[in-house]
Amino acid sequence: MRLLSAVRGELVEPQRTPALSSFDKLRTNGPIALIAALFVVAGCTGPGAPASTSGANQSGANPVDAVEITRPVALEFWHRQVGASEALQQQLIDEFMAANSNIRINPQSLGNYDTLYQKTMAAIQAGSPPDMVAAYETYASDYYEAGALIPFDDYVRSPKYGLLPQEVADYIPSYMEATHFSQYGGKQLTFPYTKSDLVLFTNMDLLRPLGFQKPAATWDEFLTHCRAAVRSGRQCYAAAIDPSAFDGVVFSYGGEVISPDGKKALFDQPPGIKTLQLYETLGKEKLAYQIQGIDDQNDLVAGRALYMMRSSTSVPFLASGFSDNSKWEVSIIPQGGSPKPVTVLYGANISIMKSTPEKQLAAWLFIKWLTRPDVTARWGLDTSNGYFPVRQSALGQATAATFLDSNPRFKQALEVSRSGKVEPSARGWNEVRNYIADAMTGLITGKMTADQAQQMLMQKSAQALAS
Protein backbone atom coordinates (compact mmCIF):
# COMPACT_ATOMS: atom_id res chain seq x y z
CA MET A 1 0.00 0.00 0.00
CA ARG A 2 2.98 2.28 0.07
CA LEU A 3 2.43 3.28 -3.52
CA LEU A 4 -1.24 3.97 -2.96
CA SER A 5 -0.35 6.32 -0.13
CA ALA A 6 2.13 8.05 -2.34
CA VAL A 7 -0.49 8.42 -5.05
CA ARG A 8 -2.96 9.96 -2.65
CA GLY A 9 -0.34 12.43 -1.54
CA GLU A 10 0.35 13.81 -4.99
CA LEU A 11 -3.16 14.36 -6.26
CA VAL A 12 -4.83 17.66 -6.92
CA GLU A 13 -7.60 18.76 -9.25
CA PRO A 14 -8.01 16.25 -12.07
CA GLN A 15 -7.73 17.37 -15.64
CA ARG A 16 -9.36 15.92 -18.70
CA THR A 17 -6.87 15.04 -21.34
CA PRO A 18 -7.74 16.58 -24.69
CA ALA A 19 -9.82 14.50 -27.07
CA LEU A 20 -7.77 14.49 -30.19
CA SER A 21 -7.96 12.67 -33.45
CA SER A 22 -6.09 9.42 -33.44
CA PHE A 23 -3.76 7.91 -35.92
CA ASP A 24 -1.29 5.13 -35.61
CA LYS A 25 1.12 2.77 -37.02
CA LEU A 26 -0.41 -0.35 -38.38
CA ARG A 27 1.50 -3.48 -38.91
CA THR A 28 -0.24 -6.52 -40.15
CA ASN A 29 -0.19 -9.16 -42.81
CA GLY A 30 -2.48 -11.58 -44.50
CA PRO A 31 -2.81 -14.06 -41.63
CA ILE A 32 -3.41 -11.24 -39.19
CA ALA A 33 -6.19 -9.87 -41.35
CA LEU A 34 -7.60 -13.37 -41.60
CA ILE A 35 -7.57 -13.77 -37.82
CA ALA A 36 -9.29 -10.43 -37.42
CA ALA A 37 -11.92 -11.36 -39.97
CA LEU A 38 -12.54 -14.71 -38.32
CA PHE A 39 -12.79 -13.00 -35.00
CA VAL A 40 -15.47 -10.68 -36.31
CA VAL A 41 -17.34 -13.56 -37.94
CA ALA A 42 -17.10 -15.55 -34.72
CA GLY A 43 -19.08 -12.83 -33.05
CA CYS A 44 -17.20 -10.15 -31.20
CA THR A 45 -19.32 -8.13 -28.84
CA GLY A 46 -18.78 -4.61 -30.11
CA PRO A 47 -17.36 -1.66 -28.21
CA GLY A 48 -17.83 -2.36 -24.60
CA ALA A 49 -18.92 -0.19 -21.79
CA PRO A 50 -16.47 -1.44 -19.19
CA ALA A 51 -18.37 -1.78 -16.01
CA SER A 52 -16.25 0.07 -13.56
CA THR A 53 -14.75 2.76 -15.73
CA SER A 54 -17.42 4.00 -18.06
CA GLY A 55 -17.34 7.47 -16.65
CA ALA A 56 -18.47 9.41 -13.67
CA ASN A 57 -21.44 7.94 -11.88
CA GLN A 58 -24.68 9.76 -11.17
CA SER A 59 -23.25 11.57 -8.17
CA GLY A 60 -20.42 12.87 -10.33
CA ALA A 61 -17.76 10.95 -8.47
CA ASN A 62 -15.09 9.14 -10.41
CA PRO A 63 -15.81 5.40 -10.09
CA VAL A 64 -12.12 4.63 -9.97
CA ASP A 65 -11.79 6.47 -6.66
CA ALA A 66 -14.03 3.93 -4.95
CA VAL A 67 -11.67 1.07 -5.76
CA GLU A 68 -9.10 -0.12 -3.24
CA ILE A 69 -6.53 -2.85 -3.63
CA THR A 70 -6.91 -4.58 -0.30
CA ARG A 71 -5.89 -8.05 -1.40
CA PRO A 72 -3.04 -9.29 -3.59
CA VAL A 73 -3.77 -9.15 -7.31
CA ALA A 74 -1.82 -10.84 -10.10
CA LEU A 75 -1.65 -9.28 -13.53
CA GLU A 76 -0.85 -10.95 -16.84
CA PHE A 77 1.14 -8.61 -19.07
CA TRP A 78 1.66 -9.71 -22.68
CA HIS A 79 4.36 -7.89 -24.64
CA ARG A 80 6.92 -8.43 -27.40
CA GLN A 81 10.22 -7.51 -25.77
CA VAL A 82 13.07 -9.99 -26.04
CA GLY A 83 16.69 -10.23 -24.99
CA ALA A 84 18.32 -7.29 -23.22
CA SER A 85 15.22 -5.15 -23.63
CA GLU A 86 13.09 -7.80 -21.95
CA ALA A 87 15.63 -8.03 -19.13
CA LEU A 88 15.45 -4.28 -18.60
CA GLN A 89 11.67 -4.40 -18.60
CA GLN A 90 11.75 -7.23 -16.07
CA GLN A 91 14.05 -5.20 -13.87
CA LEU A 92 11.57 -2.34 -13.87
CA ILE A 93 8.69 -4.70 -13.14
CA ASP A 94 10.62 -6.18 -10.23
CA GLU A 95 11.21 -2.72 -8.81
CA PHE A 96 7.52 -1.90 -9.09
CA MET A 97 6.52 -5.12 -7.38
CA ALA A 98 9.03 -4.55 -4.61
CA ALA A 99 7.35 -1.24 -3.89
CA ASN A 100 3.83 -2.66 -4.23
CA SER A 101 3.64 -5.94 -2.42
CA ASN A 102 -0.04 -6.41 -3.27
CA ILE A 103 0.55 -6.35 -7.01
CA ARG A 104 2.21 -9.19 -8.89
CA ILE A 105 2.95 -8.85 -12.60
CA ASN A 106 3.57 -11.87 -14.78
CA PRO A 107 5.08 -10.63 -18.02
CA GLN A 108 4.89 -12.88 -21.03
CA SER A 109 6.88 -12.21 -24.19
CA LEU A 110 5.24 -13.21 -27.44
CA GLY A 111 8.33 -12.29 -29.45
CA ASN A 112 6.61 -10.20 -32.09
CA TYR A 113 3.53 -8.07 -32.50
CA ASP A 114 1.80 -10.36 -35.00
CA THR A 115 1.78 -13.29 -32.58
CA LEU A 116 0.88 -11.00 -29.73
CA TYR A 117 -2.14 -9.77 -31.65
CA GLN A 118 -3.19 -13.27 -32.71
CA LYS A 119 -2.98 -14.62 -29.21
CA THR A 120 -4.76 -11.66 -27.68
CA MET A 121 -7.62 -11.92 -30.17
CA ALA A 122 -7.95 -15.64 -29.50
CA ALA A 123 -7.80 -15.07 -25.75
CA ILE A 124 -10.50 -12.41 -25.94
CA GLN A 125 -12.75 -14.78 -27.80
CA ALA A 126 -12.02 -17.48 -25.23
CA GLY A 127 -12.87 -15.05 -22.46
CA SER A 128 -9.43 -15.01 -20.92
CA PRO A 129 -7.49 -12.00 -22.16
CA PRO A 130 -4.42 -10.72 -20.32
CA ASP A 131 -4.77 -7.81 -17.91
CA MET A 132 -2.35 -5.62 -19.83
CA VAL A 133 -1.12 -5.89 -23.38
CA ALA A 134 1.34 -4.02 -25.57
CA ALA A 135 -0.62 -2.81 -28.56
CA TYR A 136 -0.47 -0.62 -31.63
CA GLU A 137 -3.41 1.72 -31.85
CA THR A 138 -5.18 -0.39 -34.46
CA TYR A 139 -4.84 -3.44 -32.25
CA ALA A 140 -6.33 -1.48 -29.35
CA SER A 141 -9.18 -0.46 -31.60
CA ASP A 142 -9.94 -4.09 -32.39
CA TYR A 143 -9.77 -5.06 -28.72
CA TYR A 144 -12.09 -2.21 -27.83
CA GLU A 145 -14.51 -3.22 -30.57
CA ALA A 146 -14.57 -6.64 -28.93
CA GLY A 147 -15.53 -5.09 -25.63
CA ALA A 148 -12.34 -6.31 -24.00
CA LEU A 149 -10.48 -3.09 -23.39
CA ILE A 150 -11.13 -0.25 -20.98
CA PRO A 151 -10.39 3.43 -21.59
CA PHE A 152 -7.84 5.23 -19.47
CA ASP A 153 -9.85 8.41 -19.09
CA ASP A 154 -11.30 7.76 -15.64
CA TYR A 155 -7.94 6.61 -14.34
CA VAL A 156 -6.12 9.63 -15.67
CA ARG A 157 -8.75 11.97 -14.22
CA SER A 158 -9.11 10.19 -10.90
CA PRO A 159 -8.50 12.60 -8.01
CA LYS A 160 -7.23 9.67 -6.01
CA TYR A 161 -5.10 7.74 -8.46
CA GLY A 162 -4.84 9.94 -11.53
CA LEU A 163 -2.34 12.38 -12.95
CA LEU A 164 -1.77 16.00 -12.11
CA PRO A 165 -2.49 18.51 -14.89
CA GLN A 166 1.19 19.26 -15.18
CA GLU A 167 1.91 15.56 -15.36
CA VAL A 168 -0.52 15.09 -18.24
CA ALA A 169 1.09 18.02 -19.98
CA ASP A 170 4.49 16.46 -19.44
CA TYR A 171 3.78 13.52 -21.75
CA ILE A 172 5.07 14.08 -25.29
CA PRO A 173 1.96 15.58 -26.94
CA SER A 174 2.20 13.62 -30.18
CA TYR A 175 2.50 10.34 -28.30
CA MET A 176 -0.59 11.16 -26.27
CA GLU A 177 -2.42 12.30 -29.39
CA ALA A 178 -2.02 8.85 -30.87
CA THR A 179 -3.63 7.22 -27.85
CA HIS A 180 -6.96 9.07 -28.17
CA PHE A 181 -9.46 7.59 -30.60
CA SER A 182 -11.73 10.05 -32.35
CA GLN A 183 -13.95 7.24 -33.61
CA TYR A 184 -14.78 6.43 -29.98
CA GLY A 185 -15.49 9.93 -28.80
CA GLY A 186 -11.88 10.74 -28.07
CA LYS A 187 -11.45 8.00 -25.48
CA GLN A 188 -7.90 7.18 -24.52
CA LEU A 189 -7.52 3.47 -25.18
CA THR A 190 -3.77 3.11 -24.85
CA PHE A 191 -0.83 4.67 -23.05
CA PRO A 192 2.51 5.45 -24.71
CA TYR A 193 5.26 2.92 -24.10
CA THR A 194 7.66 1.89 -26.88
CA LYS A 195 7.99 4.98 -29.04
CA SER A 196 10.33 5.84 -31.89
CA ASP A 197 10.21 7.76 -35.18
CA LEU A 198 10.99 7.47 -38.87
CA VAL A 199 14.40 8.96 -39.67
CA LEU A 200 16.86 9.13 -42.55
CA PHE A 201 20.16 7.33 -41.99
CA THR A 202 23.12 8.38 -44.11
CA ASN A 203 26.50 6.79 -44.68
CA MET A 204 28.64 9.93 -44.68
CA ASP A 205 31.71 8.07 -45.93
CA LEU A 206 29.80 7.51 -49.16
CA LEU A 207 28.18 10.94 -49.30
CA ARG A 208 31.23 13.15 -48.84
CA PRO A 209 33.24 11.80 -51.80
CA LEU A 210 30.23 12.63 -53.97
CA GLY A 211 30.74 16.29 -53.08
CA PHE A 212 27.93 16.64 -50.54
CA GLN A 213 28.51 17.46 -46.91
CA LYS A 214 25.01 17.05 -45.46
CA PRO A 215 22.25 14.49 -45.82
CA ALA A 216 19.48 15.38 -48.22
CA ALA A 217 17.03 17.88 -46.77
CA THR A 218 14.60 17.75 -49.68
CA TRP A 219 13.52 15.03 -52.09
CA ASP A 220 15.15 16.93 -54.94
CA GLU A 221 18.45 16.78 -53.05
CA PHE A 222 17.82 13.13 -52.29
CA LEU A 223 17.46 12.36 -56.00
CA THR A 224 20.54 14.43 -56.80
CA HIS A 225 22.60 12.53 -54.22
CA CYS A 226 21.28 9.20 -55.43
CA ARG A 227 22.01 9.94 -59.07
CA ALA A 228 25.55 10.95 -58.13
CA ALA A 229 25.97 7.75 -56.12
CA VAL A 230 24.70 5.54 -58.91
CA ARG A 231 26.91 7.34 -61.46
CA SER A 232 29.89 6.50 -59.27
CA GLY A 233 28.91 2.86 -59.22
CA ARG A 234 27.29 2.86 -55.77
CA GLN A 235 23.86 1.89 -54.60
CA CYS A 236 21.82 4.68 -53.06
CA TYR A 237 18.62 3.94 -51.19
CA ALA A 238 18.24 0.57 -49.46
CA ALA A 239 14.47 0.51 -49.39
CA ALA A 240 12.50 -1.47 -46.87
CA ILE A 241 8.93 -2.03 -48.02
CA ASP A 242 7.41 -0.15 -45.13
CA PRO A 243 4.05 1.56 -45.72
CA SER A 244 4.86 3.92 -42.87
CA ALA A 245 7.80 5.28 -44.85
CA PHE A 246 5.44 5.85 -47.78
CA ASP A 247 3.05 7.70 -45.47
CA GLY A 248 5.98 9.74 -44.23
CA VAL A 249 6.81 10.85 -47.76
CA VAL A 250 3.19 11.88 -48.33
CA PHE A 251 3.30 13.87 -45.09
CA SER A 252 6.54 15.49 -46.17
CA TYR A 253 4.83 16.73 -49.33
CA GLY A 254 2.29 18.41 -47.09
CA GLY A 255 -0.44 15.84 -47.58
CA GLU A 256 -2.53 13.29 -45.78
CA VAL A 257 -3.07 9.69 -46.74
CA ILE A 258 -6.72 9.51 -45.71
CA SER A 259 -9.65 11.91 -45.48
CA PRO A 260 -10.56 13.29 -42.03
CA ASP A 261 -13.60 11.01 -41.82
CA GLY A 262 -11.46 7.96 -42.55
CA LYS A 263 -13.55 6.98 -45.55
CA LYS A 264 -11.35 7.86 -48.51
CA ALA A 265 -7.70 7.39 -49.35
CA LEU A 266 -5.98 10.45 -50.76
CA PHE A 267 -3.43 8.92 -53.10
CA ASP A 268 -5.02 10.87 -55.96
CA GLN A 269 -4.19 14.22 -54.35
CA PRO A 270 -1.01 16.10 -55.34
CA PRO A 271 1.07 14.94 -52.33
CA GLY A 272 0.08 11.34 -52.97
CA ILE A 273 0.80 11.62 -56.66
CA LYS A 274 4.19 13.21 -56.00
CA THR A 275 5.03 10.37 -53.62
CA LEU A 276 4.14 7.75 -56.19
CA GLN A 277 6.15 9.59 -58.83
CA LEU A 278 9.11 9.79 -56.47
CA TYR A 279 9.08 6.03 -55.95
CA GLU A 280 8.63 5.54 -59.69
CA THR A 281 11.72 7.65 -60.35
CA LEU A 282 13.69 5.78 -57.70
CA GLY A 283 12.77 2.50 -59.33
CA LYS A 284 13.11 3.56 -62.95
CA GLU A 285 16.55 5.10 -62.47
CA LYS A 286 17.62 2.29 -60.13
CA LEU A 287 18.27 4.75 -57.35
CA ALA A 288 16.57 2.43 -54.86
CA TYR A 289 16.69 -1.29 -54.36
CA GLN A 290 14.42 -3.47 -52.30
CA ILE A 291 15.85 -5.17 -49.23
CA GLN A 292 14.62 -8.04 -47.11
CA GLY A 293 14.17 -7.88 -43.36
CA ILE A 294 16.64 -5.48 -41.81
CA ASP A 295 19.38 -5.95 -44.39
CA ASP A 296 19.41 -2.23 -45.08
CA GLN A 297 21.17 -1.74 -41.74
CA ASN A 298 23.94 -4.08 -42.76
CA ASP A 299 24.20 -2.47 -46.18
CA LEU A 300 24.48 1.00 -44.69
CA VAL A 301 27.17 -0.04 -42.21
CA ALA A 302 29.08 -1.96 -44.86
CA GLY A 303 29.02 0.98 -47.28
CA ARG A 304 26.77 -0.74 -49.78
CA ALA A 305 24.01 1.83 -49.41
CA LEU A 306 24.10 5.59 -49.09
CA TYR A 307 20.68 6.02 -47.48
CA MET A 308 18.05 4.12 -45.59
CA MET A 309 14.81 5.21 -43.93
CA ARG A 310 13.82 3.29 -40.87
CA SER A 311 12.70 3.48 -37.26
CA SER A 312 15.06 5.23 -34.87
CA THR A 313 15.26 1.96 -32.95
CA SER A 314 18.03 1.15 -35.45
CA VAL A 315 20.29 3.76 -33.86
CA PRO A 316 21.88 1.45 -31.25
CA PHE A 317 22.64 -1.19 -33.88
CA LEU A 318 24.20 1.32 -36.26
CA ALA A 319 26.12 2.93 -33.42
CA SER A 320 27.73 -0.40 -32.74
CA GLY A 321 28.33 -0.99 -36.45
CA PHE A 322 30.06 2.27 -37.38
CA SER A 323 33.46 2.74 -35.87
CA ASP A 324 32.87 6.43 -35.20
CA ASN A 325 30.05 8.93 -35.41
CA SER A 326 31.58 10.90 -38.27
CA LYS A 327 30.77 8.03 -40.59
CA TRP A 328 27.00 8.31 -40.33
CA GLU A 329 24.20 10.76 -39.71
CA VAL A 330 20.63 10.68 -38.45
CA SER A 331 18.23 13.33 -39.74
CA ILE A 332 14.62 13.97 -40.51
CA ILE A 333 13.40 12.41 -43.75
CA PRO A 334 13.76 14.74 -46.76
CA GLN A 335 10.91 17.20 -47.14
CA GLY A 336 8.86 18.02 -50.21
CA GLY A 337 7.01 21.20 -49.34
CA SER A 338 5.25 20.53 -46.07
CA PRO A 339 4.63 23.81 -44.20
CA LYS A 340 6.78 22.47 -41.39
CA PRO A 341 9.14 19.47 -41.19
CA VAL A 342 7.31 16.25 -40.59
CA THR A 343 7.99 12.57 -40.15
CA VAL A 344 6.14 9.49 -38.90
CA LEU A 345 5.84 8.46 -35.27
CA TYR A 346 6.38 4.78 -34.66
CA GLY A 347 5.82 2.62 -31.68
CA ALA A 348 3.36 0.73 -29.56
CA ASN A 349 1.58 1.42 -26.31
CA ILE A 350 0.07 -0.44 -23.40
CA SER A 351 -3.62 -1.10 -23.00
CA ILE A 352 -5.61 -2.34 -20.02
CA MET A 353 -8.05 -5.15 -20.62
CA LYS A 354 -11.36 -5.46 -18.87
CA SER A 355 -11.10 -7.55 -15.71
CA THR A 356 -11.94 -6.66 -12.11
CA PRO A 357 -11.86 -3.09 -10.80
CA GLU A 358 -8.94 -4.04 -8.55
CA LYS A 359 -6.91 -5.55 -11.38
CA GLN A 360 -7.67 -2.66 -13.68
CA LEU A 361 -6.55 -0.22 -11.01
CA ALA A 362 -3.40 -2.23 -10.37
CA ALA A 363 -2.65 -2.18 -14.10
CA TRP A 364 -3.13 1.58 -14.20
CA LEU A 365 -0.85 2.08 -11.21
CA PHE A 366 1.82 0.02 -12.93
CA ILE A 367 1.51 1.92 -16.20
CA LYS A 368 1.54 5.21 -14.36
CA TRP A 369 4.69 4.14 -12.53
CA LEU A 370 6.26 2.90 -15.75
CA THR A 371 5.83 6.29 -17.36
CA ARG A 372 7.15 8.24 -14.40
CA PRO A 373 9.93 10.58 -15.60
CA ASP A 374 12.73 8.74 -13.85
CA VAL A 375 11.46 5.32 -14.96
CA THR A 376 10.70 6.23 -18.58
CA ALA A 377 14.11 7.87 -18.75
CA ARG A 378 15.68 4.53 -17.90
CA TRP A 379 13.40 2.58 -20.23
CA GLY A 380 13.52 5.04 -23.10
CA LEU A 381 17.17 5.96 -23.02
CA ASP A 382 18.85 2.61 -23.21
CA THR A 383 20.87 1.01 -25.96
CA SER A 384 19.06 -2.29 -25.48
CA ASN A 385 15.98 -1.04 -27.29
CA GLY A 386 16.43 2.44 -28.76
CA TYR A 387 13.05 3.70 -27.57
CA PHE A 388 12.31 7.26 -26.53
CA PRO A 389 11.13 8.34 -23.08
CA VAL A 390 7.46 9.31 -23.11
CA ARG A 391 7.77 12.26 -20.75
CA GLN A 392 9.42 15.55 -21.59
CA SER A 393 10.82 15.97 -18.11
CA ALA A 394 12.59 12.63 -18.48
CA LEU A 395 15.16 14.50 -20.52
CA GLY A 396 15.94 16.60 -17.47
CA GLN A 397 17.09 13.57 -15.53
CA ALA A 398 20.82 13.47 -14.86
CA THR A 399 21.08 10.05 -16.48
CA ALA A 400 19.37 11.36 -19.61
CA ALA A 401 21.94 14.07 -20.18
CA THR A 402 24.76 11.58 -19.76
CA PHE A 403 23.16 9.13 -22.14
CA LEU A 404 22.39 11.69 -24.83
CA ASP A 405 25.87 13.18 -24.64
CA SER A 406 27.40 9.80 -25.23
CA ASN A 407 24.87 8.87 -27.93
CA PRO A 408 24.66 11.92 -30.20
CA ARG A 409 22.89 10.08 -33.02
CA PHE A 410 20.18 8.96 -30.63
CA LYS A 411 19.84 12.59 -29.56
CA GLN A 412 19.36 13.58 -33.20
CA ALA A 413 16.64 10.97 -33.63
CA LEU A 414 14.95 12.22 -30.50
CA GLU A 415 14.97 15.77 -31.80
CA VAL A 416 13.39 14.59 -35.05
CA SER A 417 10.51 13.11 -33.06
CA ARG A 418 9.31 16.64 -32.30
CA SER A 419 8.17 16.68 -35.92
CA GLY A 420 6.46 13.33 -35.57
CA LYS A 421 3.00 12.73 -36.94
CA VAL A 422 0.83 9.72 -36.28
CA GLU A 423 -0.67 7.58 -39.01
CA PRO A 424 -4.32 6.70 -39.57
CA SER A 425 -6.12 4.12 -37.47
CA ALA A 426 -9.37 4.03 -39.45
CA ARG A 427 -11.03 0.68 -39.86
CA GLY A 428 -9.75 -0.94 -43.05
CA TRP A 429 -6.45 0.94 -43.02
CA ASN A 430 -4.59 -2.23 -42.10
CA GLU A 431 -5.64 -3.66 -45.42
CA VAL A 432 -4.75 -0.46 -47.25
CA ARG A 433 -1.23 -0.76 -45.88
CA ASN A 434 -0.87 -4.07 -47.66
CA TYR A 435 -1.77 -2.36 -50.94
CA ILE A 436 0.71 0.43 -50.23
CA ALA A 437 3.37 -2.24 -49.78
CA ASP A 438 2.36 -3.77 -53.12
CA ALA A 439 2.60 -0.38 -54.79
CA MET A 440 6.01 0.34 -53.27
CA THR A 441 7.32 -3.03 -54.43
CA GLY A 442 5.91 -2.51 -57.92
CA LEU A 443 7.37 0.97 -58.24
CA ILE A 444 10.81 0.21 -56.82
CA THR A 445 11.21 -2.89 -58.96
CA GLY A 446 10.00 -0.99 -62.02
CA LYS A 447 7.05 -3.31 -62.59
CA MET A 448 4.48 -0.62 -62.03
CA THR A 449 4.10 2.99 -63.10
CA ALA A 450 2.93 5.75 -60.78
CA ASP A 451 -0.39 5.91 -62.66
CA GLN A 452 -0.94 2.17 -62.33
CA ALA A 453 -0.02 2.27 -58.66
CA GLN A 454 -2.39 5.16 -58.04
CA GLN A 455 -5.27 3.42 -59.80
CA MET A 456 -4.66 0.21 -57.90
CA LEU A 457 -4.37 2.01 -54.59
CA MET A 458 -7.49 4.11 -55.07
CA GLN A 459 -9.58 1.18 -56.23
CA LYS A 460 -8.51 -1.25 -53.51
CA SER A 461 -8.46 1.37 -50.78
CA ALA A 462 -12.04 2.31 -51.58
CA GLN A 463 -13.08 -1.31 -51.11
CA ALA A 464 -11.06 -1.72 -47.92
CA LEU A 465 -12.29 1.47 -46.30
CA ALA A 466 -15.89 0.77 -47.27
CA SER A 467 -15.92 -2.67 -45.66
Partner 1 sequence: MGGNLPLHLVLSVGGVLMLFPFYWMIVTSFKGLDEASGLPPTLWPASWQWDNYIRAWQAAPFGRYFVNTLIVAGGQTLAVLVTSTLAAYTFARVGFRGKNVVFIIFLGTLMIPLEVLLVPDFIILKYLGWYDTYLALIVPFSASVFAIFLLRQFFLSIPNELWDAAQIDGCGRLGFLWRVAVPLAKPALVTVGLLTFHAGWNSLLWPLIVTGSTDMRVLQVGLTAFQSDARVQYHLWMAAATFTIAPMLVIFLFAQRYFIEGVARAGIRG
Question: Rule CB under 8 A: which residues touch partner 1?
Answer: 31, 34-35, 38-39, 42, 76, 81-86, 106, 108-112, 115, 118-119, 121-123, 125-128, 194, 196, 293-294, 297-299, 301-304, 310-311, 313-314, 316-317, 320-321, 384-386
8-state DSSP, 185: T
Q: Which is nearer to partner 1, 31 or 55 (CB)?
A: 31
Task: Map 41-75 to HEC letters.
Answer: HHHCCCCCCCHHHCCCCCCCCCHHHHCCCCCCEEE
User: If 0-12 CB within 10 Å is exposed, 13-18 middle and 19+ buried, where does residue 43 land?
Assistant: exposed
Q: Which is nearer to partner 1, 111 or 396 (CB)?
A: 111
Q: Which is nearer to partner 1, 33 or 169 (CB)?
A: 33
Q: Which is nearer to partner 1, 240 or 422 (CB)?
A: 240
Q: Report in angstroms how near the CB of residue 214 gets to partner 1 at its nearest.
A: 24
Q: Report in angstroms how near the CB of residue 313 gets to partner 1 at its nearest.
A: 4
The answer to whether residues 144 and 120 touch, using CB atoms and an 8 Å cutoff, is no
Tell me the C-alpha distance between 59 and 285, whole Å. Answer: 68
The answer to whether residues 151 and 52 touch, using CB atoms and an 8 Å cutoff, is no
Q: Report in angstroms how near the CB of residue 302 gets to partner 1 at its nearest.
A: 4
Q: Which is nearer to partner 1, 313 or 393 (CB)?
A: 313
Q: Report in angstroms how near the CB of residue 35 gets to partner 1 at its nearest.
A: 6
Q: How many CB atoms lie within 10 A of CB 136?
A: 27
Q: Which is nearer to partner 1, 236 or 266 (CB)?
A: 236
The answer to whether residues 187 and 154 touch, using CB atoms and an 8 Å cutoff, is no
Q: Which is nearer to partner 1, 107 or 186 (CB)?
A: 107
Q: Report in angstroms how near the CB of residue 265 gets to partner 1 at its nearest.
A: 26
Identity of the residue numbered 271 = P
Phi, psi of 14 (to 5 degrees): -70, 155
Tell me the C-alpha distance between 397 and 380, whole Å. Answer: 12
Q: Report in angstroms how near the CB of residue 331 gets to partner 1 at its nearest.
A: 17
Q: Which is nearer to partner 1, 76 or 167 (CB)?
A: 76
Q: Report in angstroms how near the CB of residue 311 gets to partner 1 at its nearest.
A: 6
Tell me the C-alpha distance between 185 and 142, whole Å. Answer: 16
Tell me the C-alpha distance between 302 and 436, whole Å. Answer: 29
Tell me the C-alpha distance between 114 and 254, whole Å. Answer: 31
Q: Which is nearer to partner 1, 115 or 441 (CB)?
A: 115
8-state DSSP, 424: B
- How many Å separate Cα 413 from the centre of its chain? 14
Helix-strand-coil split of the chain, %, nearest 5: 50, 15, 35
Q: How many CB atoms lie within 10 A of CB 239?
A: 24
Q: Report in angstroms how near the CB of residue 130 gets to partner 1 at its nearest.
A: 9
Q: Report in angstroms how near the CB of residue 297 gets to partner 1 at its nearest.
A: 7
The answer to whether residues 175 and 391 touch, using CB atoms and an 8 Å cutoff, is no
- Three-state DSSP at 106 gives strand
Q: Report in angstroms how near the CB of residue 114 gets to partner 1 at its nearest.
A: 9
Q: Which is nearer to partner 1, 115 or 338 (CB)?
A: 115
Query: For 382, left (φ over 0), alpha (ψ -120 to 50), or beta?
Result: beta
